[in-house]
Structure 1
Amino acid sequence: MATSSSLKMLLELAQQQADASAKNLGKLNSQQQEAEKKLNLLLQYRHSYQSHFQNSTEKGMDNIEWLNFIAFMDKLDAAITEQRQAVLYAQNKRMAGNDEFLSHQRKLKSYDTLSQRQQRAETHKQIQQEQKMLDEFALNAFHRNASSAKDS
């Protein structure tokens, strides 16, 4: 069985790793939310611009305005596609970070369980030693009393 100090050191290291992975997971969650927020803004902007374009077509639009709209929408669609990829990348990184966090949590729980078992074993051993000492004391007292009663 591992010594108490080495198990304590492993437990502390596992706690530090779990804390670091929790912090990293928080950062990854924020990055994913930020990427999703940017995507939503782009989608809203596209919808707004398309609505504006439809209003402009009802009033009449020349060929240059039409070409500018098409070019702008193509660029906006490309940005949306790129941002969707960024969202997927952020989601994948967050899931990997979550897996790492859960792994560190399981490791920490395992070391904690081992530490508790070791503590219970040490406590049990100490209780047995104390009981043995009490039994020896009681036996010695009994023998002294028996000797004194014999001598009287």
Structure 2
Amino acid sequence: MSVKPSLSMLLDFAQKESDISAKKLGQLASQQQEATEKLHILLEYRHSYQSRFQDAAKNGIDHIEWLNFITFMNKLDAAITEQRNSVSTALANREAGGKEFQNCQRKLKSYNTLSKRYLEIETQQKMKHEQKEQDEFASHIDFHQNTKRLQNT
């Protein structure tokens, strides 16, 4: 007899759960990376736009250009703030996904350990049974040999 069907089912379920969790963790890590890259792009764009404006301001700018710059920078800063929030959320989701994956791995490892122990016990019981059969067979042969000797004497 191999691993009990219920334990086998638990192992299969834990493996599937772990696989799903690993895939989800990969997706969450990818989302975090994308959010971080978008933030870096926005920060680089802000820096570039501010540098170009400062260069233009050296030559003098009028009031409308100044207001347009301020308005655009405020919108860009709002987008950066929103993207920072997205990065924070993505990081928190990835960390939660990592914890979920670790829990799935622990569960799978526990079921594997139980399965191995069950198989070891089953193997030991089988070996004891075989040894008992061998002992009985040897005893039976010895009995018959002794019986024949006694009859021959």
Provide the TM-score with structure 2 as the length reference.
Answer: 0.96
Q: Secondary structure at the match of 2:61?
A: coil
Counterpart residue number, 2:127? 127
Q: For 1:58 and 1:7, locate their aligned partners in 2 and report how far apart those are by CA, in whole Å.
A: 76
Opposite residue 8 of structure 1, the aligned amino acid is S
Could you tell me which residue of structure 2 aligns to residue 45 of structure 1? 45
Q: Output aligned runs, 1:8-87, within 5 Å.
A: 8-87=8-87
In 2: Cα distance, 1:59 partner to 1:119 partner: 83
Give the structure 2 partner of residue 148 of structure 1: 148
1:54-100 superposed Cα distances (whole Å, 9 cap, x missing partner): 11011111111111001100000000000000000001111111111
Q: Which runs of 4+ in 1 moved over 4 A?
A: none
The 2-side partners of 1:23 and 1:110 are apart by: 21
Corresponding residue of 1:88: 88
The percentage of aligned residue pairs carrying the same residue is 54
CA distance in 1, matches of 2:147, 2:110: 55
In structure 2, runs of 5+ residues without a counterpart are none
Q: Deviations over 1:90-117 (max 9, x none)?
A: 0111111111100000000000000000
**1:46 alignment partner AA:** R
RMSD between aligned residues: 0.8
CA distance in 2 between counterparts of 1:88 and 1:150 reads 92
User: Counterpart of 1:109?
Assistant: 109
Q: What secondary structure is seen at the aligned counterpart in 2 of 1:16? A: helix
Q: How far, CA to CA, are the matches of 2:115 and 2:11 in structure 1?
A: 8
Distance 1:94 1:82 in 2: 18
Aligned residue identity for 1:76: L
Partner Cα distance (2:38, 2:144) in 1: 88
| Unpaired runs of at least 5, structure 1 | none
Q: TM-score with structure 1 length normalisation?
A: 0.97
SS in 1 for 2:39: helix
Read off the aligned partner of 2:10 and give its amino acid letter: L
